Amino acid sequence: MVSDLLIQTRGYGNNLLAIEMKKKGNRKNNKEDRERLESLVSSANPKTTNHCVHDTLLGAFIVYSPEEVYIEYYENINGLGEMTEQEVFPLDALNT
């Protein structure tokens, strides 16, 4: 299970951030990318193999275009990875 970007800590601590990125209009694997983020931020399940990454502190699904950046945040809620917030950042406001 590999995300587009995974920021890790040194040693044996939890991973800090997992990011999946898409260009606006590219819907290929959106569902799988979101499921991957949910799994990455979920608590480890004893039934899963040890080589899977879990307990990542924060996940982000990012869709970008020249006009805006859309971000969904994923966090561990009671052991399960869930989307907790959505934000849209208009880029035209940054260019003025």
Domain layout of the chain by residue ranges: 5-90
Residue 52: what pLDDT? 64
pLDDT confidence bin for 10, thresholds 50/70/90: confident
Residue 11: what pLDDT? 76
Q: What is the reported pTM?
A: 0.83
Residue 89: what pLDDT? 94
pLDDT at 50 over 60: no
Residues 6+ apart with CB under 8 A from 84: 73, 74, 75, 77
Higher pLDDT, 86 or 44: 86
Over range 20-45, report the average pLDDT: 90
3-state secondary structure 60-91: EEEEECCCEEEEEEEEEECCEEEEEEEEEEEC
